[in-house]
Chain A
Amino acid sequence: MSTDQVRVVVTGLGATTPLGGDVASTWSALLAGQSGVRNLTEDWVDSVPVKFAAVAAVDPTEVLPRPEARRLDRAEQFALVAAREAWAHAAIDKVDPERLGVVVGSGIGGITTILAAYDTFKEKGWQRLSPYTVPMLMPNGAAGWIGIEVGARAGVHATVSACATGAESIGYAIEMIRSGRADVVVAGGTEAAIHPLNIGSFAAMRAMSTRNDAPQLASRPWDKDRDGFVLGEGAGIVVLESEEHALARGAKIYAVAAGVGYSADAHHIAQPEPTGAGVMLAMRRALENSGLTGQDIKHVNAHSTSTPAGDVVETLAIKEVIGAHPLVTSTKSMTGHLLGGAGGIESVFTILALHERIAPGTINVDNLDDGVEVDIVRGAPRKLPDGQIAAINNSFGFGGHDVAVAFTSI
């Protein structure tokens, strides 16, 4: 066990998701087993084969002042809303700006800005482009805005690893504090990709569910009849802090951000590696990095997205590395898949699960697929044991990225 490491703790949580505009409303909807998936009503819906998505419950333009919202891409808007909640939650009165960092990424970045700006360019010319077009479309834009907001000068970073982005950001933040570069880091992921081009492109990969007659049943990880993921949007942000810094200011601590494991499949740009070798390596390294054993892990917030290819192999990897005992859930059954935002919100859920000793359920698992030999939380949430326990949040992304972040109870 690596007891010589700086301990990193979680002192603030923020989220805006298809289930709610903040952490409290999202968490209660999650425990109630609600689906955030709804029919799309935009006029472009006839042009794509998928007519539904997990749209944010609270539109960020309703929360942000109009002059601010108009110079932010929607992904930046979500990130800023969630970061403000997390920052307020952490209630840090005073921190040395040179010891304060930000790590917030997005899988795709400001794609709706790019496409709308290109329309403006073609129709009206370059003179009519917003001077904020570049900061709106760059994938590090959200990190930059949050850094300005909180006054972070230790370093502002944006990791980009598709659907592993949020988890990788949190892992990077843990390492930033451990390596002595910062005392406090605001970290997470964001995504705003509900656009016909993205839906069309994911559909072209045959990756999305087309259950148009029953959208709320479409995200069904590990169910035999799953037919693809459901696109979601939003952001999840955490405030991480060295334990020393948190204790010195008497902060409320929600969990310990115990460690992270990374690996890569080196197999295929978009398909999961069939033996789960990369996933196993990431989880094994997360355990090593955290000084934990498989027995310590009582809950896994799985990556499983409801695609036919990836769900079962993740459970095989969990069984191999951790064991068959942890309560495994896929909250994507309710939130949809937030791509770069997924690891952000799912880390928030993993932390809350430890803090409140309850594992959210997975909805829509009517017929468990063959080969799933771990304890899936189907339907209602289940209680987690008392005492010192740990949990893992898995996130994997196109490109073959595998990230596992481990948290422990306080």
Chain B
Amino acid sequence: MALTEQEILAGIGKIINEITGIPASEVSPEKNFVDDLDIDSLSMVEIAVAAQDEFGVEIPDEQLKHLKTVKDVINFIQN
């Protein structure tokens, strides 16, 4: 069964908190990783790898650079 948006958001929040220390509660769908959450490209790689482990969805590098917001990642995982 596919995960709901809320379930994916909770998982991403947990990963981002683990890697960057940003509280999971601040990780909402509209947030931009660079502009709002101040996450650098190396941390994005860590987050992508952790998300692959968590959700079983491979995020290729060429896709990763297009994922600007939390919502983008949720959509990518759902589809």
Flag if B49 contacts A128 (CB, 8 Å): yes
Flag if A131 contacts B20 (CB, 8 Å): no
> Digit string of B44-77 for contact with A (CB within 8 Å is 1, else 0)?
0110010000000000000000000000000000
**In whole Å, how far is B50's beta carbon from the nearest beta carbon of chain A?**
10
Judge if A127 is at the interface, Cβ distance under 8 Å.
yes
> Digit string of B12-47 for contact with A (CB within 8 Å is 1, else 0)?
000000111100000000000000000000110110
Judge if A250 is at the interface, Cβ distance under 8 Å.
no
> Digit string of A64-82 for contact with B (CB within 8 Å is 1, else 0)?
0111101000000000000
Q: For B40, give the chain A residue with the smallest CB separation.
A: A131
Size class of the contact patch on chain B: under 10
Size class of the contact patch on chain A: 10 to 19
Judge if A271 is at the interface, Cβ distance under 8 Å.
no
**In whole Å, how far is B59's beta carbon from the nearest beta carbon of chain A?**
11
Flag if A66 contacts B21 (CB, 8 Å): yes
Flag if A131 contacts B21 (CB, 8 Å): no
Flag if B42 contacts A67 (CB, 8 Å): no
**Contacting residues, chain A, for B21 (C-beta < 8 A):** 65-68
Flag if A132 contacts B42 (CB, 8 Å): yes
**In whole Å, how far is A121's beta carbon from the nearest beta carbon of chain B?**
13
Q: For A134, give the chain B residue with the smallest CB separation.
A: B42
**Contacting residues, chain A, for B42 (C-beta < 8 A):** 131-132
- Whether A67 touches B49, Cβ cut-off 8 Å, given contacts A131-B42, A132-B42, is no
Chain A residues 112 to 140 lying within 8 A of chain B, measured CB to CB, are: 127-128, 130-132
Flag if B49 contacts A127 (CB, 8 Å): yes
Instruction: State in angstroms the CA–CA spacing of A127 and B45 once bound together.
Output: 9
Name the contact of B45 in the complex, choosing from A65, A66, A131 (C-beta under 8 A). A131
Instruction: State in angstroms the CA–CA spacing of A66 and B18 once bound together.
Output: 8
Give me 18 A-to-B residue pairs in the complex whose CB atoms sit less than 8 angstroms apart, sorted by A's number: A65-B21, A66-B18, A66-B21, A67-B18, A67-B19, A67-B20, A67-B21, A68-B21, A70-B19, A127-B49, A128-B49, A130-B46, A131-B42, A131-B43, A131-B45, A131-B46, A132-B42, A132-B46
Sort A-B residue pairs by CB-CB distance and give the 5 closest, nearest first. A67-B21, A131-B42, A131-B45, A67-B20, A65-B21
